[in-house]
Structure 1
């Protein structure tokens, strides 16, 4: 019997031990909470930044008055803090009583009106233009004369000015109505609508005279008195006979030569007694001055100068300014004189420069060259030239009522004080009103003269 070998029993009995493992379910991971802090912080930053930006935008883009109107939520509603002329409580409550502003010739204002409380009735009546008086004449009641009153003669065409009218003409010669009267649409004024001057025009002698010129240090030819003592302002002026017992008024048109149409109208459509003043910035000045003198006009030159106010124009390179040195202003003044050969004098309207101490040197130079001076300013008698003061610039406010009112006051001043000087700018409306007004001067006891007939001769120089 075969012997069995059991040596491999151990191997057969050996069994690979398998690892015993029990799978245990892992606990779920903890739930993560959403962090709102960055989101809230971002929203807060955006909200604060947007609100701040919106506030800055509102403050910078809104007008202060609009913000006040938005914040004014009282019981009475928003109200104006400025009392306007012609406004009363009755006009606010009832627009039929005149509205916000009462135009000239409108219904009577309330008792609390600013103008009525400050201006006496007689001065208001004296300063009212004829258009407004005629407009309210049908609505006024004229008291009947008493039976015992003695019969009076028919009124003269022009009544003598009252004391109030004389004081108003002296104290405020350039007053203007509060606002223009509304008008229907019509053709705008134009230079072509002005009537042409009829009759033969006597031209003035040719100018300048060679013997009344001298060369300056800069090589420019300047006017100067002649060897026999004749003054250029007398030689180049328009001859004029002095009528007795009549007020005299001169009209000076300034800034000519810049607009060809306006300059042509001033030369050919205004009476030869009107004085024409040319701008030193105009081209072809010698031709314009020669043409003006051929039509009988005496000629002046405008001296640009420093004026007051935020809207004052720039006087330009020839302008006189108080901040410049006297030598610089002297050079500019001589340039203006040299550009206007045959001019009888100069016009200076800059209030700011006229109030400076340099105006004395300017007037002394004008006297030295024998020219007349139209404008403000004061100098010592030994330095004062032939001088004419300006009464008013009639078209400072460019509407009919203001121009007519100033022309009316010019005529009153001429009758009361004996003389007046009106300055006019070359505008169609200004020419239209002036031409019509000149036609009424004779019936008003006033005569139109060149400005050289109204100047005060220079005081004699002390030896």
Structure 2
């Protein structure tokens, strides 16, 4: 009788505690399935909203715009420059073996522009190649070169075997008004060289060509005392790789169009290095441009490099205003006349200083009476 109540007393509290634990667990049950279902609904709703509100045909995939053409891949010289000087394989269809593509047109003939529609500022589309720096000149598929298309016809002096003098004025384009004044003062036969740094180069060059002048691009080359004597930005250097110098050349060539050739600005160290000049001259030859050496360095290898790459070439024999005084300029011009009478032709370089331009303009008016013809520089380029 006494043991039964004792058993009930021991078992009753234990059962109650178990019941309490079950009730507590039921009270705090974690609804995992329900939460997962809600999360899935939220995700699906977000995707649906994005499809409705966001126009993204790529569905969020990363994308990048890439040009469909690459002028670098089409430029064999530039592509192989890093490996050393390249060799140009001449296409007989573009460069006949007799060299007729480089022959001077008959006296009085105009440059071969027939059948071509000029683009902006008189640039022929077939003679233009787009690069990352802008448009640069090239040879057309028919073999027409910028040298032949953009040069000024030499006139009757060549056929008459008259003594000939060519004058190249350099340093134009930096000062717009000064350049326009120079264009107005000088006769059409004077060749004009433009530096690649002016802000209004396309319009200034167009004014020169409209007035009848042929134009050249000045390219800055490394002098011996560089950087104390610095020709300007994008100067081609002997310490740079051929690819780096070609990249600079392309930037320079894209500053304006319509030029038949280039002329060096300084460059005594650079033009003395065949290793550095070779890729540059190869590129000029491949693009059909001429090269004029300003005659400032006797160590220049430009003549040899030009001959090896069929680049129309000439070398200036005298800097007319090395002493920028009127008497000195007139004396230098008289020496140029004597050289032309003696050898048949002479080529002089003069800067665009007002005193120099005025002296040349006045001198040129009396030249014909002396039996000497003033001709564009391209007429003396071989």
TM-score with structure 2 length normalisation?
0.62
Distance 1:379 1:220 in 2: 30
Asked whether 1:294 is paired with 2:210, we answer yes
Task: State the partner residue of 1:240.
Answer: 154
2:318 pairs, out of 383, 389, 392, with 392
Stretches of structure 2 that go unaligned for 5 or more consecutive residues are 1-112, 294-299
Label 1:310 to 1:368 Cα distance change in 2 as closer, same or farther (>3 A): closer
Larger radius of gyration: 1
Asked whether 1:257 is paired with 2:173, we answer yes
Task: State the partner residue of 1:210.
Answer: 125
The runs of at least 4 consecutive aligned structure 1 residues that moved more than 6 Å come to none
Asked whether 1:423 is paired with 2:349, we answer yes
Contact 2:191–2:215 (8 Å) recurs in 1: yes
Contact 1:363–1:379 (8 Å) recurs in 2: no
1:372 pairs, out of 290, 302, 315, with 290
Distance 2:336 2:286 in 1: 31
Distance 1:438 1:219 in 2: 39
Task: State the partner residue of 2:145.
Answer: 231
Distance 2:338 2:223 in 1: 28
Asked whether 1:356 is paired with 2:281, we answer no
SS class of match (2:334) = helix
CA-to-aligned-CA distance 1:288-325 (integer Å, 9 cap, x gap)? 11111111111111101122458963122221222222
> Shift in Å at residue 352 of structure 1?
2.3
CA-to-aligned-CA distance 1:27-58 (integer Å, 9 cap, x gap)? xxxxxxxxxxxxxxxxxxxxxxxxxxxxxxxx
> Shift in Å at residue 226 of structure 1?
1.2
SS class of match (1:300) = strand
Distance 2:225 2:345 in 1: 29
Contact 2:165–2:345 (8 Å) recurs in 1: yes
Contact 2:133–2:251 (8 Å) recurs in 1: no
Label 1:325 to 1:292 Cα distance change in 2 as closer, same or farther (>3 A): same
Contact 2:292–2:316 (8 Å) recurs in 1: yes
Task: State the partner residue of 2:83.
Answer: none
How many residues align? The count is 252
RMSD, matched Cα:
2.1
